[in-house]
Amino acid sequence: MAALGSVLCVCLLLGHLFDRALLGDPGCGALERGGRGLALGLGLAGGLSMACDTFGLGVTRVTVGAAVALVLLLSLVACVQRTTPRAHGDGRGRLAGLSARELALVLGLLLLAAVGVGVAVRSGWIRPTLQFDAIVRWMWKAKALAVHETLLGPLSSDPAFGFTHQRYPPLISHVANLVQLVHGSYDDRLQSAIFPWFAVATVAMAYGAVARRSGALTGALAAFWIAHLPLLSYAMAPPPGAGAASAMADIPLSMFVLGAVLAVADALDGKRDRAHLELGLFLGFAALTKNEGLPFVALTVALVALLGGRGSVRRALGVGLVGAGLFALLWGWVAAGLPATDENYPAQLGLATITVGFGRLGTILPRLGMSMLDIQAWNVTWLAVLTLLAGSVGLLRRPGLRLIVLLLALQLGTYILAFMVTAWSSPAAELIAETTGVGDVVGTLMNLTADRLLMHLAPAAICAALIAAPVRLTRAG
Amino acid sequence: MDREIIIQVVALLVVAMACLRWLPDEDPLDPIGLGVPWETLRVEQQLLEFGPSSDDAMTFLNTIRKAPERQGPFRRHWRALMQQLRAIEADPEYQPDTLVQFRGIPRNDMWPLMYLLYPQPTTFVSFEAGSRPNDELIPGAMTIDSSLMPWDEMTDEQRAHLRARQGR
């Protein structure tokens, strides 16, 4: 526990100081600062570990420790030297101005939100890695880092290990390995216990950002809602499990997606200085977490260029340079030389394949709808999000909110495109398709993955819906 | 109904639904069995009793999602695999470069075992790729053999592989 606690404290300090030094203090509350600090810190620490590996230094206590210490020191010096500007704000997030009833509701929802993430944190502490993909993709690479002090050895180059999907970006494997660097030996349960803390950062960021824009009550509802998503907090099914304690990359990706979405909204609405820089960082971390982060980078850059107002092209280029540059520098050029043993979706994006894929929409769209309506997995989340957004169409004139909604919709569209062109198969899926005549391989794949893909977008969608439709106890005005 | 009311109703529904999940799963107020958090907590309580890092815990976790009538065979199968793995590790002749040969192990069992053994060199041939419990022994290798399940205890995927290899 001391090793895990140390890593979390260092990540929190690293992210917070970096945030204050480079990105500016937006005048927000402690929870949001803490959440964003932890999110940035996990990304930065994992990224520094990746840098040590990519540039041949080896992933050891000395190299990673020195890199983290250097960034900490530079951030501290920068913090001391600069006077951080107060960002815009109207005090709506502050608890002091609330009535007794509102304060009770806010504190109650935050306490229940703590229970939700607390369940995930406890599960992460107790359960060894169970999920199949978590074992063969992420934790295997974390073990390889512990054993070889690099991922660029036999695990990456030997095609026999292709089932680990060698080209998948390994940021979270590096984050899990941080615990081993402190602890001194590999322990599956200990290292996988860091994963629920991505959810903790997600909930804290969501509360603070929504509270700043829509009031503390709405912020508390956002925190509660996300913390009690079944697939985040406690559900071990539907397969293959997307929960925060599952040592999968979906919750970490959803955290970086949320960070990026909140940063882009703050940037376009003029709420914070240097939010574009933070956006670029979160985009880079998203791309280093899962392949799904790469189209997210491209879509964000394109939408910022199109909808970002004055100077938008210049800003979009800057965002793209940071986000895509981070990915290219730390992993892109390495992955280009590794065996292509994964599904290799970019290679499927031909006109012929896409044209044929239109025939799959009759399976894809209904199943996606069924996933969204599945109460066991989502409660009433997607119905509620769509209802709140549908009733707030006029507010979509706000550039930040409009961009978020478009971005999430387009990202969902890329997932639909992936299902259209996928060459994935398994003998069981083919057998089911052959013997029943009603299911098909894509349907089986969707049963396994649709909920995880929706989880990437869920926290951001919830925040967007609540920013568009704040909850008030009394009528406004 | 004005917009503010709709937002409040939606918020109440979200909170109520999330709280409803925390009703105990056999409660009369939970007729559709939504009390999943309590199942998860029960699983974790069992893991704590086994010892969270123990082989019993792993066996339990790897079989809890099987249908009740199949849990027995799967648990026997996993216990047999883990016993063989621990026997190898306890063998005085076991060295870091000793090859571990899997014979007839299904792929979805083989990969987690390989993860546990890593970086021990292992054969990569699974049941689905043609490995069988009576494969010829590789000289110098230590083996983990499948307590091969009868046909009616196999998963659909294992049967599909077996049919494919038999040309059916």
Check pLDDT > 80 for residue B94: yes
Least confident range from A19-23, A89-93, A461-465, B1-5: namely: A89-93
pLDDT at position A267 over 80: yes
Give the three-state DSSP class for A218.
helix
Chain B residue with Cα closest to A391: B3
Q: Which of A135, A237, A388 comes nearest B115 by C-beta?
A: A135
Name the residue in chain A with its Cα closest to that of B13.
Answer: A380
Helix axes A361-373, A441-468, angle to 10 degrees: 50
pLDDT, position B151: 61
C-alpha to C-alpha distance for A94 and A73, rounded to whole angstroms: 32
Chain A residues with CB-CB distance to B160 below 8 A: 427-428, 430-431
Helix H or strand E segment including A373:
helix A361-373
Whether A230 and B52 lie within 8 Å, measured CB to CB: no
Whole-angstrom distance between the N-terminal and C-terminal Cα of chain B? 62
Nearest residue on chain B to A475, judged by CA atoms? B4
Tell me whether residue A153 is exposed, middle or buried, using C-beta atoms within 10 angstroms of its C-beta: 0 to 12, 13 to 18, 19 or more.
middle
Phi-psi region at B132: left, alpha or beta (left = phi > 0; alpha = psi -120 to 50): beta
> Tell me, what's the pLDDT at A338?
85
Cβ–Cβ below 8 Å for A380 and B17:
yes
Residue of A nearest to B111 (CA): A136
- Residues in a beta bridge with B145: B103
Residue A329 banded pLDDT, cuts 50, 70, 90: very high
Q: Which of A132, A234, A376 is the closest to B108 by Cβ?
A: A132
Instruction: Please say if the pLDDT value at position A349 is more than 80.
Output: no
- Contact assessment for residue A144 and residue A151, using Cβ atoms and an 8 Å cutoff: yes
Q: What integer pLDDT is reported at residue A266 of this predicted model?
A: 87
Q: How far is CA B114 from the centre of its chain?
A: 14
User: CB-CB: which of A116, A163, A380 is closest to B111?
Assistant: A163
- The whole-angstrom separation of Cα B37 and Cα B23 is 9
Three-state DSSP at B3 gives helix
Task: Say whether residue B17 is in contact with chain A using an 8 A CB cutoff.
Answer: yes
Dig out the tokens for A194 from the structure: 């860091």
Tokens of A160: 């026999």
pLDDT of residue A423 exceeding 60: yes
Reported as a single tens digit per residue, the pLDDT across A397-415 is 788 889 999 999 999 999 9
For residue range A431-457, list pLDDT tens digits in order. 666 665 555 778 888 888 899 999 999
Give the distance from residue B161's alpha carbon to the nearest chain A alpha carbon, in angstroms: 6
Mean pLDDT across A343-370: 80
Q: Residue B134 has what pLDDT?
A: 81
- State how far residue A148 is from chain B, nearest Cα, in angstroms: 9
Q: How confident is the model at residue A477 (pLDDT cuts 50, 70, 90)?
A: very low
Q: How many CB atoms lie within 10 A of CB A430?
A: 16
Nearest to A216 by CA among A381, A396, A96: A96
Contacts of B3 in chain A (CB under 8 A): 391-392, 469
Average pLDDT over residues A378-382: 94
B21 chain-A contacts, CB cut-off 8 A: 228, 230, 379
B43 touches chain A (CB under 8 A): yes
pLDDT category of residue B38 using cuts at 50, 70 and 90: confident
Place of tokens 């009793």: B49
pLDDT digits (tens, 9 = 90+) for A63-110: 999 999 999 999 999 888 876 555 544 444 567 778 889 999 999 999
Angle (CA) A80-A81-A87 rounded to 5° is 85
- The conformational region for residue A359 under phi > 0 = left, psi -120 to 50 = alpha, else beta, is alpha
d(CA A248, CA A130): 10
Nearest to B85 by CA among B70, B67, B72, B98: B98
Beta-sheet pairing, B100-103 with B142-145: parallel
What pLDDT was estimated at residue A91? 47
Find the CB nearest A234 among B37, B61, B159. Answer: B37
The CA distance from A37 to A39, in Å, is 5
CB pairs under 8 A between A and B: 127
Are A47 and A64 a contacting pair, CB within 8 Å?
Answer: no
Asked if B155 is an interface residue toward chain A (Cβ–Cβ < 8 A), one would say yes
CB nearest to A136's CB, from B8, B115, B163: B115
CB A251 within 8 A of CB A39: no
Report CB contact under 8 Å: A384, B13.
yes
Q: Please name which of A319, A338, A309 lies closest in space to residue A276, comparing C-alpha atoms.
A: A319
Q: Is A475 on the interface with B (CB under 8 A)?
A: yes
Lowest-pLDDT range of A49-63, A105-119, A163-177, B16-30:
B16-30
Burial label for A228, CB within 10 Å (0-12, 13-18, 19+), is: buried
> B14, A469: Cβ pair inside 8 Å?
no
Is there a contact between B29 and A394 (Cβ–Cβ < 8 Å)?
Answer: no
Mean pLDDT, chain A, whole residue set = 88
Q: Give the integer Cα–Cα distance in Å for A209 and A202.
A: 11
Q: Is the dihedral of CA A229, A233, A234, A236 positive or negative?
A: positive
Q: What's B100's DSSP letter?
A: E
For chain A, give the percent of residues with pLDDT over 70: 90
User: For B47, which of A126, A143, A187 is closest by C-beta distance?
Assistant: A126
pLDDT tens, A42-59?
A: 999 999 999 999 999 999
Residue A429 half-sphere exposure, CB side, CA atoms within 13 Å? 13
Question: Higher pLDDT residue, A372 or A242?
Answer: A372
| Eight-class DSSP state of A410 | H
Average pLDDT over residues A152-161: 85
Q: What is the pLDDT of residue A144?
A: 95
Note whether B27 and B37 are within 8 A (CB).
no
What pLDDT is stored for residue A104 in this prediction? 94
Cis peptide, bond prior to residue A427, ω within 30 of zero: no
Dihedral angle, C-alpha B83, B85, B88, B90, nearest 10 °: -70
**pLDDT tens per residue, range B151-164:** 666 667 666 666 66
Stated pTM of the model = 0.92
Percent of chain A surpassing pLDDT 90: 61
Q: Does A1 touch chain B (CB under 8 A)?
A: no
Q: Report yes or no: A223 and A204 within 8 Å, Cβ to Cβ.
A: yes
Amino acid residing at A92: R
For the cut 70, the answer to whether the pLDDT of residue A354 exceeds it is: yes
- Is A431–B111 a contact, with Cβ atoms under 8 angstroms apart? no
Q: What is the mean pLDDT of residues B30-47?
A: 79
* % of chain B surpassing 90 pLDDT: 24
Contacts of residue A278, Cβ cutoff 8 Å, sequence gap at least 6: A19, A23, A40, A259, A263, A272
What is the spatial distance between Cα A429 and Cα A305, in angstroms, rounded to a whole number?
42
- HSE toward the beta carbon, residue A128, CA cutoff 13 A: 23
Reduced to 3 states, what is the DSSP secondary structure of residue A94? coil
Rounded to whole angstroms, the Cα distance separating A471 from A121 reads 29
Cβ distance of A130 and B61 shorter than 8 Å: yes
Three-state SS sequence of A16-74:
HHHHHHHHCCCCCCHHHHHHHHHHHHHHHHHHHHHHHHHCCCCCCHHHHHHHHHHHHHH
Task: Name which of A394, A445, A388 is nearest A419 in CA terms.
Answer: A445
Partners of residue A469 in chain B, C-beta under 8 Å: 3, 7, 10
Upper half-sphere CA count for residue B24 (Cβ side, 13 Å): 4
Vertex B27, ends B21 and B30: CA angle to 5°?
45
DSSP assigned state of A134: I
Question: What is the pLDDT of chain B when averaged over all its residues?
Answer: 82
> Is residue A128 very low, low, confident or very high in pLDDT (cuts 50, 70, 90)?
confident
Determine the residue of chain B that is closest to A161 in CA distance: B124
pLDDT value, residue A90: 47
Q: Is B4–A136 a contact, with Cβ atoms under 8 angstroms apart? A: no
Structure tokens at A470: 């704040």
- Nearest CA among A23, A35, A41, A34 for reference residue A84: A23
Predicted local confidence at residue A432, as pLDDT? 62
Give the residue with greater pLDDT, A56 vs B64.
A56
For residues A145 and A153, what is the distance between their CA atoms, to the nearest angstrom? 10
Per CB-CB distance under 8 Å, the chain A contacts of B37 are: 119, 233-234
Give the pair of three-digit tokens for residue B45. 């309580």
According to DSSP, the residues that pair with B101 across neighbouring strands are B143
- What does the pLDDT average to over B90-111? 89
Distance, in Å, from the CA atom of B148 to the CA atom of A19, rounded to the nearest integer, reads 56
| Residue B52 to residue A140, Cβ atoms within 8 A | no
